[in-house]
Amino acid sequence: MITQVSYAIKIMLHFTTFLSILVSSLFFPFTLAQTGVSLSLNVEGIGKIVVDPLDEPATMVTKFARAASAAGIAMTTNGMAQMLQYFCLKRTCTQNLPKTVTLTTATGSILTCEPWDEPASLIELYALESLKTGIQLTEADLTPLLSKLCSVTLCLQTSYRLPENPYTLNIEGVGQMVVGSYQDPADIVEKFAQQVADSELNVDIGFEQMKAMMLKICAVRNCKRTTLNPPSKTPLELTIEGVGKMICTDDQDPADVVDAFAAQATAAGE
């Protein structure tokens, strides 16, 4: 008798589970159907927004808009709303887009953070503008401002950089190099050396000179990267009429290139 009762209970439990699954599939088909499905939207002239199954559409639209704005593309509230609507017609949306918020600083400046503005970037801009007026703000000044912004709007980035005074270095016989407030000195030194190498100036900035430039800059600026990559030079080309073209790259010995070219030409009977 006990065995029969136990068997009946097991049947009832299995039947209850079956009913639960059946009811869920009938009343919540959208939730089940969207599992594992990625949605995408091509925004003409800008790029593609991809919303994966576990992504919140509002967050991804905001991330897309902020990246576009940082690249110099104008964003609007209406445009962002249309992007979000596209996804919300196909998937459940539980969050809204950020709203425009304003914040008054201790110096009386008013910071306006639009939905397409990253708060951390806005803090960096405020610090840079203050530096231009002779006021050098510190983390003690800026971190509370970022915290306040992040309490009322979406922050995708929680760190920021402190601006430094621009640094100008005169290179005799070449020109002037300027490291901006937010620029990495090593990047600028490499870029400057490459520009000189690509120019028609009969001047080269050697690796030792690049290191000397870095020493001067890093004496007054913070240098996160101290390793340098020397500039790559444009390959030398020489066309021999009726034979072919010789190409000598920066890492090749010209004599070796000539010997190899001559051997190939001889083997070809030219």
Segments of the chain with pLDDT less than 50: 1-5, 7-9, 11, 13, 15, 17-34
CB count within 10 Å of CB 201 equals 13
Summarised one tens digit per residue, pLDDT across range 17-32 is 444 444 344 443 434 3
Query: Helices 77-88 and 57-70: crossing angle, nearest 10°?
Result: 150
| pLDDT score of 241 | 76
Confidence (pLDDT) at 218: 94
Q: Nearest CA to 68 among 125, 115, 103, 120?
A: 115
Name the β-bridge partners of 168: 178
> What sign has the CA pseudo-torsion 209, 215, 216, 218?
positive
3-state secondary structure the chain: CHHHHHHHHHHHHHHHHHHHHHHHHHHCHHHHHHCCCCEEEEECCCEEEEECCCCCHHHHHHHHHHHHHHCCCCCCHHHHHHHHHHHHCCCCCCCCCCCCEEEECCCCCEEEECCCCCHHHHHHHHHHHHHHCCCCCCHHHHHHHHHHHHHHCCCCCCCCCCCCCCEEEEECCCEEEEECCCCCHHHHHHHHHHHHHHCCCCCCCCHHHHHHHHHHHHCCCCCCCCCCCCCCCCCEEEEECCCEEEEECCCCCHHHHHHHHHHHHHHCCC
**Pair of tokens at residue 62:** 């905001």
At residue 270, the pLDDT reads 59
Predicted local confidence at residue 223, as pLDDT: 92
Task: Say if residues 57 and 88 touch (Cβ distance below 8 Å).
Answer: yes
Q: Is the model's pTM score more than 0.95?
A: no
Supply 202's token pair.
């009969």
Q: What is the pLDDT of residues 66-107, one digit of tens each?
A: 999 999 999 999 999 999 999 999 999 999 999 999 999 988
Amino acid letter for position 145: L
